[in-house]
Structure 1
Amino acid sequence: MLSLGPKLGEFERGFASRVGVEPELVSAVSSGTAALHLAVREQGWGTGDRVVTTPLSFVASSNCLLFEGAEPVFCDVDPATLTLDPAAVESMLDERIDGLLPVHIFGFPAAIAELERIAAAHGLGLVEDCAQALGTVDAEGREAGSRGNPSAFAFYANKQMATGEGGMLISGSAEAADVARSERNQGRAPGMKFMDHERLGFNYRITDLQAALGIAQLERLDDMLAARAAIASRYSERFTAIGATEPGAGDPDDLVLPLADRGVERRSWFVYVLRLPKSVDRDGVIAELDRRGIDARPYLPCIHLLDLYRERGWREGQFPIAEDFSRRSLALPFYPALPEDSQERVVRELTDILGR
């Protein structure tokens, strides 16, 4: 079968086992965006609802709110973790806020237990964007997506595991998962007569070929995560040797490392992103690396400064921590099979460009 075939259930069961949730909560879909969209629908967020989320994420985390007519309400991030700052979230809450949508950005866990406490105290729904966080462990030792909140994962080619395109929704209840599985298949439900539809739905099906690839990727996941962690550790060791500092440990003109594991919290390495010194022309560094045959990127732009969101009234200067990181961010080559000599060359060339 092209889609909804025998590999689909096997993939969903394997993923559930890996994350530590019941299989009936898990629905494979066509992308991480599809998973997040269905999670937003599971919470019932729609026209007029206002949901607090981060400006420092891939645009899908906010677009999925717009899909349903809800409004993203941005909040600044913690300078070390780059995830939603719970204190900042709590300070902005009022009766007009309907939910929270934290993102485990770059594979580091958001302060999810604290955000859950805030949500419960104010009667808010909560969705976890885990698109970059397969294998992430939070401050309570729990895997991202395992806490009972609707949670969305992604399997795009650059993620910790990949199926080309693909995603996974972990629902908050078996009943909600049944609805999601109907919604992914144009609103149909198992056992319905041919071409009948019980609700509004979408073509969010994953193919059996993608599911088979996902099964194989799950078998290799621990090895791939370990390879990513080793590459990140090597980068950080080399940059520490030329004076790079931990987040919050130095001054604005430091070269700043990404935060690694912290106590119980474990990062699942998705990308390796440095913060360049404020005095350095980041775009000039990228251009010079490109001239030397090394692909590096700014990662990533703040959502509220994209044209679509500027048109909705957001402006520069509203979220200084997120904006500062975005202006200084430099994502280096990073994938599980990155050869050590290639990595050493990246470090050597960047060190030379920075004059260190």
Structure 2
Amino acid sequence: MIIPLSRPDITNIEKTYVNEVLDSGQLSMGIKTDLFEKQFRDRFEARYAVAMNSGTSALHVAVKSLGLKAGDEVITTPYSFIASGNCLVYEGVKPVFVDIDPLTLNLNTSLIEGTITSKTKAILAVHIFGQPCNMDEIMKLANKYQLSVIEDSCEAIGAEWKGTPVGLIGDVGVFAFYPNKQITTGEGGILVTNHKNIFEMAKALRNQGRSLTNEWLDHEYIGYNYRMSELQAAVGLGQMERLDEILQKREQVANRYLQLIGKFNLPVLIPKIVNDCRISWFVFIIILPKGVNRNLIINHLSSQGVQSKPYFPSIHLQPSFQKKFGSQLGNFPLSEEMSERTLAIPFYTNLTLEEQTFVIQTLKKIV
């Protein structure tokens, strides 16, 4: 038995929409992309949505659409996928990291104000593993210091902070649809905002800098080929129609893991789920006891057909960031500790109780 780390949930609905695209002969810039964007506007009550070819592309466009530039600083978390740092570096913006909350693993909002300088222009909040950051504190600081707010909701579609969907609390939000996400388009992302100026710039930058009013092949800005294909949008249409079903199933899988961890007395922790939010389960993370050899556990699980991965290495210790910014071990000790102790175990929509039981029993034997 092989139990993969993740697996997309694709049905005949998605296949039907893909075949419609193939039969239409229009594989880019067509009606499916328009409909996919409309789904997001309707679902999250957003005025604007711009679909793109990846979450990273959408984050980059969010940064540029806010007018962030070389010399500016943006406060963010070091405990995240590297894209949330790279999207700033692309524009010469300096990521200013603050350490994380040891319980939720999200950005520690109590540390933000102490890092604000005259160069600070924005806060990039990452809703790690689908759990919202403390958006009350982030928005309060943003308003006090007149900072923009980018919500990296790439792992958090359907999550809510005090009843409000993440992605629409700040100035601009981004979702992503890599195959391990809650819903997928294979590759893909989308930018959402309620600000017309951000929308117009984002739509232009996505399509080689062509503004909304210009003629064919008339490019007002230096832009990018970040367009979502019609095939991607077709898969996304079917996934969005099933979003509530998918989120509910993933919550059921997560709850079964929590029960099994208790049943078998597995000596691990999970990130704390705060009362003010609704989590959208992206991955299932366990926090191993201090001093445990994680590589030994990963290798043992692999020998039994169970995939697992370390989640996440701290961005500031990535070779590219150490070389560029001179960051080093000890800069953000809580992020670094969690980077050594966290482990993602198999988690996806249709994971069975039998498979989950095998995963936890196998972990119990080695931990």
Range moving further from structure 2, 171-180 or 68-77: 171-180
Query: How far off its partner does 1:130 sit?
Result: 0.5
TM-score (norm 1): 0.93
Separation in structure 1 between the aligned mates of residue 183 and residue 278 of structure 2, nearest angstrom: 17
Instruction: Indicate the residue corresponding to 1:266 in structure 2.
Output: 278
The CA deviation string for residues 54-78 of structure 1, in whole angstroms up to 9 with x for no partner, is 0000000000000001011110011
1:333 and 2:358 correspond: no
Separation in structure 2 between the aligned mates of residue 49 and residue 189 of structure 1, nearest angstrom: 25
Q: Which has the higher contact order (CA 8 A, sep 6+)?
A: 2
Q: Any gaps of 5 or more consecutive residues in structure 1?
A: 245-253
The CA deviation string for residues 5-49 of structure 1, in whole angstroms up to 9 with x for no partner, is 011111111111122222xx1101111001101110122111001
1:3 and 2:25 correspond: no
Q: Any gaps of 5 or more consecutive residues in structure 2?
A: 1-25
1:40 and 2:53 correspond: no
Separation in structure 2 between the aligned mates of residue 205 and residue 47 of structure 1, nearest angstrom: 25
* Structural RMSD (CA): 1.3
| Percent identity for Structure 1 against Structure 2 | 40
Separation in structure 1 between the aligned mates of residue 171 and residue 95 of structure 2, nearest angstrom: 19
Instruction: Indicate the residue corresponding to 2:4 in structure 1.
Output: none
Give the paired residue count: 341
Instruction: Indicate the residue corresponding to 2:45 in structure 1.
Output: 20
Letter in 1 for 2:306: I
Letter in 2 for 1:164: G
Instruction: Indicate the residue corresponding to 2:72 in structure 1.
Output: 49
Letter in 1 for 2:146: G
Query: How far off its partner does 1:194 sit?
Result: 2.6
1:298 and 2:310 correspond: yes
Separation in structure 2 between the aligned mates of residue 161 and residue 328 of structure 1, nearest angstrom: 27
Letter in 2 for 1:207: S
Letter in 1 for 2:364: T
Separation in structure 1 between the aligned mates of residue 179 and residue 196 of structure 2, nearest angstrom: 29
Letter in 1 for 2:205: E
Paired residue secondary structure (1:13): helix
Q: 1:214 to 1:66 in 2, by over 3 A?
A: same
Asked if structure 1 preserves the Cα contact closer than 8 Å seen for 2:52 and 2:189, the reply is: yes
Letter in 2 for 1:41: K
The CA deviation string for residues 147-171 of structure 1, in whole angstroms up to 9 with x for no partner, is 2521111011111110001100013
Query: How far off its partner does 1:174 sit?
Result: 1.7
Query: How far off its partner does 1:118 sit?
Result: 0.5
| Superposed counterparts of 1:56-71, under 5 Å | 56-71=79-94
Instruction: Indicate the residue corresponding to 1:122 in structure 2.
Output: 145
Instruction: Indicate the residue corresponding to 1:159 in structure 2.
Output: 181
Deviating 4+ runs (over 4 angstroms): none
Paired residue secondary structure (1:102): strand
Separation in structure 2 between the aligned mates of residue 191 and residue 48 of structure 1, nearest angstrom: 31
The CA deviation string for residues 173-214 of structure 1, in whole angstroms up to 9 with x for no partner, is 123211211110101134533311111110010111111111
Asked if structure 2 preserves the Cα contact closer than 8 Å seen for 1:163 and 1:213, the reply is: yes
1:342 and 2:341 correspond: no
Instruction: Indicate the residue corresponding to 2:222 in structure 1.
Output: 200
Residue number among 66, 78, 82 corresponding to 2:101 in the alignment: 78
Paired residue secondary structure (1:17): helix
Asked if structure 2 preserves the Cα contact closer than 8 Å seen for 1:86 and 1:114, the reply is: yes
1:109 and 2:132 correspond: yes
Asked if structure 1 preserves the Cα contact closer than 8 Å seen for 2:130 and 2:156, the reply is: yes
The CA deviation string for residues 281-306 of structure 1, in whole angstroms up to 9 with x for no partner, is 11111111111111111111010111
Instruction: Indicate the residue corresponding to 1:183 in structure 2.
Output: 205
The CA deviation string for residues 236-293 of structure 1, in whole angstroms up to 9 with x for no partner, is 111123445xxxxxxxxx5212333x32411100000100000211111111111111
| Superposed counterparts of 1:232-251, under 5 Å | 232-243=254-265
TM-score (norm 2): 0.90
Separation in structure 1 between the aligned mates of residue 364 and residue 151 of structure 2, nearest angstrom: 37
Asked if structure 2 preserves the Cα contact closer than 8 Å seen for 1:148 and 1:172, the reply is: no
Letter in 1 for 2:138: L
